[in-house]
């Protein structure tokens, strides 16, 4: 029996990358999976097919996570389709990097809305469901730069720091209802974005990581399984760094 057998997980922004890796890992551990993305395109359909191969229920929902009403509507639909929500992973995110002197208001607002406001939207929508169930696990996908900051990423760093404060506050508010909230802070994770970097940049970055390698989406997914499962039943309000000791 898998670690997530009988649980229903909702993952935002899960058509690709880390979100997809979490969805697949959750399914391999026995969970039914609902996920959102801006559109349910071929990439999302492929994710659905891969999850179905594990023999579990899965459905993708087109939704703008930064939109409050859409987030509530899709949560209501997921509850109607699946009956419950045991795990929420706030993974939807974008970057619009730039130095503060050159950053536009639009760049700031877009990143804060997609990364941080989306987490608020879905937590706000899911809390009543989990409260009725007397339990649930909320996982915010933060970042090491949400703890340490990073030049050229003040908007992204602020959004990821905000997700940490949000999770810690929800952990204290909702603990009496059996609801846990935690964060994962990935470091240098190998992805389509990092693969596009020049070889020299990637090699120099890896040299700063004590484990001497970049992380994989599956590394992050393994941490998410721990936080979503009963193995972490007394873990709440915490930030788990998945960074190879890059930022410890």
Q: Output b/e per residue, 19-42; b: 16+ Cβ within 10 A.
A: bbbbbbbbbbbbbbbbbbbeebee
Q: From residue 51, give the alpha-carbon distance in Å to each of 15, 20, 54, 57, 195.
A: 11, 9, 6, 8, 25
The tokens for 95 are 């970057």
**In the annotation, is 156 catalytic?**
yes
Which residues, at least 6 apart from 150, have a Cβ–Cβ distance to it below 8 Å? 156, 157
Q: Taking Cα atoms as reference points, which of 109, 92, 108 lies closest to residue 100?
A: 108
**Active site residue: 129, 156, 164, 214, which one?**
156
Show which residues are catalytic. Answer: 156
């Amino acid at each position: 029996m898998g670690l997530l057998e009988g649980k229903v997980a909702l993952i935002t922004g899960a058509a690709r990358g880390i979100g997809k890796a979490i969805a697949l890992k959750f399914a391999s551990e026995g969970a039914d999976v609902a996920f959102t993305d801006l559109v349910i395109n071929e990439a999302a359909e492929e994710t659905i097919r891969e999850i179905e191969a594990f023999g579990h229920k899965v459905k993708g929902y087109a939704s703008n996570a930064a939109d409050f009403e859409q987030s509530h509507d899709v949560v209501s639909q997921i509850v109607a389709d699946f009956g419950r929500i045991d795990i929420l992973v706030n993974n939807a995110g974008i970057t619009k990097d730039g130095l503060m002197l050159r950053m536009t208001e639009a760049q700031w607002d877009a990143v804060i809305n997609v990364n941080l406001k989306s987490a608020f939207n879905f937590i706000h929508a899911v809390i009543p469901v989990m409260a009725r169930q007397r339990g649930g696990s909320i996982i915010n996908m933060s970042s090491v730069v949400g703890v340490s900051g990073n030049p050229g990423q003040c908007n992204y760093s602020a959004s990821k720091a905000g997700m940490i404060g949000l999770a810690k506050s929800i952990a204290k508010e909702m603990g009496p209802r059996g609801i846990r909230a935690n964060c994962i802070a990935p470091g240098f994770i190998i992805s389509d974005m990092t693969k596009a970097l020049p070889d020299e940049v990637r090699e120099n970055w890896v040299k700063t990581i004590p484990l001497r390698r970049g992380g994989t989406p599956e590394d992050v997914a393994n941490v998410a399984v721990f936080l979503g499962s009963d193995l972490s039943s007394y873990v709440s309000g915490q930030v788990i760094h998945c960074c190879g000791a890059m930022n410890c």
